[in-house]
Amino acid sequence: MLEQQKNKSESKIIITVSGVDRIGIVAKIANILAENKVNIEDIKQSIMQDYFVMFLLGDISQSEKTFKEIKEAILKAGEELQMEIWVQKKQIFDKMHNI
Amino acid sequence: MTYINSDYILETIDMIRVHHLDIRTVTLALSLRDCCDTDVKIVGEKVYNKITKYAKNLVSMAQEIEEEYSIPIINKRISVTPISLVGESCKDYDYVYLAKVLDKAAADVGVNFIGGFGALVEKGCTRGDIALIESIPEALAQTERICSSINVASSKAGINMDAVLKMGKTIKKAAELTADRDGIGAAKLVCFCNVPGDNPFMAGAFHGYGEPECALNVGVSGPGVVRAAIEALPDNTNFGDMANKIKQIAYKITSTGELVGREMAQRMNIPFGIIDLSLAPTPEIGDSVAGIFQAMGLEHAGAHGTTAALAMLNDAVKKGGIMASSHVGGLSGAFIPVSEDAGMIEAATRGCLTFDKLEAMTSVCSVGLDMIAIPGDTPSDTISGIIADEMAIGMINKKTTAVRVIPAPNKKVGDKVVFGGLLGEAPIMPINTLSSSKFVQRGGRIPAPIHSLNN
């Protein structure tokens, strides 16, 4: 049971996208995630100091790709969109900010 | 239930991107006690095979984890059983040869430092210990990745003044044999009092006697994060609230280290050892412990009040970090190396941070006199005097203290040494020129102190 929970939390990723707002950012990222069978569980976005910021919670457990391959695909899209993108396993945030 | 907490995400990314939060080192600690033999070549073969077997995935695993959490893991390192023990069984001692083997093994698995070329001699030296100490200058000059540490004192045993005398000479010679590189040999050599056997940080890392076959120890860092958090507080924040803020940050830093350590250990299929929850600076701007003193309200490191600031910082870091990890160890606390901290370098260059003030600070910091460049013509007996003073502080206060000074060959006050990388650069600091010779040459041991009547 514990092992299952651990695997579950290991498969969650957080994607943070920031940069100048433009048309098609969400569409492009979502498209790449769909291609890689990453399920989007939650999205939050806002404009902060004229910058577009988006946070996306994804689940990679159904994907046939490795974390590294998925990350590379997303970062490549980030370059094309000229956006800064961070792709991290969610565990780092859970561990750092919860007691 | 899973949800997105954007504040937490932005805070974490800012800590990494802006304030240099990183995992300073993942150190594979490995016992070499089963590598003894009467033939030094066979010892070398066993040592090489064991290190390359256990550490073959260390660097790639660390890189994989770096990728997954987007947190830099700056150093991948190895610490081993004190080599004096491993080489002592040989019929003919050849510790320089063993140093070269360790160096090659470290290079072949891709780590930048391997620690443990040392001995524990707080109460006395065996023949092997003496042979090892005498081989240190040559070993450090002929290798790149070896770090050496000698424990010459403890609160239980007192101070081995014969070893202190010997180490003064050894440090001086280690610098002289690497004169073409500003005496870098001495930058990889450290004397300890109360040395911990699970420290992942160089130059003092080694795998202690009571440790298991192998373990993964992690050293965290983050002075820049602490500084930023203090700077964000209102100017009139009192010490209690400031200490609480440091504790919160230390918790966050340490729990990240715990996550990385446990993941690494699991993937390498070895036990997780300890987290060393240290504030270890780098020469990068903003990654400075001296910068924390400034954020606290001191004009610069060295001002009156610096020792108090460091005492509070060191204690708060431990209090915050200890709850975030099941096993804390090593040197945990705040490091105050001079050459590895941009703020300390500046303070020392301006003359506002003196050698004597640094010595006072070591009574409350986590380690000791660290990475301090002194004039090349400093007599070895004076270096022994420096070591004796520092060991006394550790022995009486039941804490770890250390000395890593670099008597920079052909350099005098006003010059500087440049090592590059994490070892940084440092101005040559003036030291007291009065003679310590007659004192340090008396020989024998300073007896262990009484552990009551704590006045």
Instruction: Report the C-alpha gap between B145 and B434 in whole angstroms.
Output: 35
Instruction: Tell me which residue in A12, A56, A92 faces B69 most closely, judged by beta carbons.
Output: A92
Angle at the Cα of B397 from the Cα atoms of B393 and B403, rounded to 5 degrees: 35
Show residues of chain B in contact with A57, CB under 8 Å.
2-4
Q: What is the rounded average pLDDT of the residues B6-35?
A: 94
Q: Residue B134 contacts by C-beta under 8 Å, 6 or more apart in sequence? A: B170
B398-416 pLDDT, tens digit each: 999 999 999 999 999 999 9
Question: Judging by DSSP bridges, how do beta strands B189-193 and B401-408 pair with one another?
Answer: antiparallel
Residue with tokens 């450090």: B140
CB within 8 Å: B12 and A91 = no
CA distance B332 to chain A (A): 19
Residue with tokens 């964000």: B232
Return mean pLDDT, chain B. Answer: 96
Show residues of chain A in contact with B218, CB under 8 Å.
none
Instruction: Report the C-alpha gap between B279 and B334 in whole angstroms.
Output: 5
Res A3 pLDDT > 60: no
Res A5 pLDDT > 50: no
Q: What is the rounded average pLDDT of the residues B185-199?
A: 97
Instruction: Report the C-alpha gap between A18 and A48 in whole angstroms.
Output: 9
Contact B121, B152 (CB under 8 A): yes
Res A4 pLDDT > 60: no
- Cα–chain-centroid distance for residue B293? 21
Cis status, amide bond into B408, omega within 30 of 0: no
Res B396 pLDDT > 80: yes
Res A1 pLDDT > 60: no
Residue of A nearest to B14 (CA): A86
Instruction: Report the C-alpha gap between A27 and A16 in whole angstroms.
Output: 15
Q: What is the rounded average pLDDT of the residues B425-439?
A: 97
Which one of B1, B21, B23, B69 would you mutate to disrupt binding with A, by most A Cβ within 10 Å of its Cβ? B69
Would you list the domain boundaries of chain A? 2-97
Res B1 pLDDT > 60: no
Residue B434 in contact with partner chain A when CB distance is under 8 A: no
Instruction: Report the C-alpha gap between B294 and B230 in whole angstroms.
Output: 10
Q: What is the rounded average pLDDT of the residues B127-144?
A: 98
Q: Three-class SS of residue B46? A: helix
B83-120 pLDDT, tens digit each: 999 999 999 999 999 999 999 999 999 999 999 999 99
Model confidence pTM above 0.90: yes
CB within 8 Å: A92 and B12 = yes
Q: What is the rounded average pLDDT of the residues B247-272?
A: 95
Res B439 pLDDT > 60: yes
Res B421 pLDDT > 90: no
pLDDT of residue A7: 62
A2-97: CATH superfamily: ACT domain (3.30.70.260)
What class has domain B217-446?
alpha beta
Show residues of chain B in contact with A67, CB under 8 Å.
67-68
Would you list the domain boundaries of chain B? 217-446
Q: Which of residues 2-41 of A touch B (CB under 8 A)?
A: 12, 14, 16, 41
Percentage helix, strand, coil for chain B under 3-state DSSP, each rounded to 5 = 45, 20, 35
Strands (E), B378-446: 401-408, 416-418, 425-427, 445-446
Residue of B nearest to A56 (CA): B4
What are the start-end ranges of the H helices in B323-413?
Answer: 342-350, 355-361, 380-397
Token pair recorded at residue B383: 């270096």
Res B455 pLDDT > 90: no
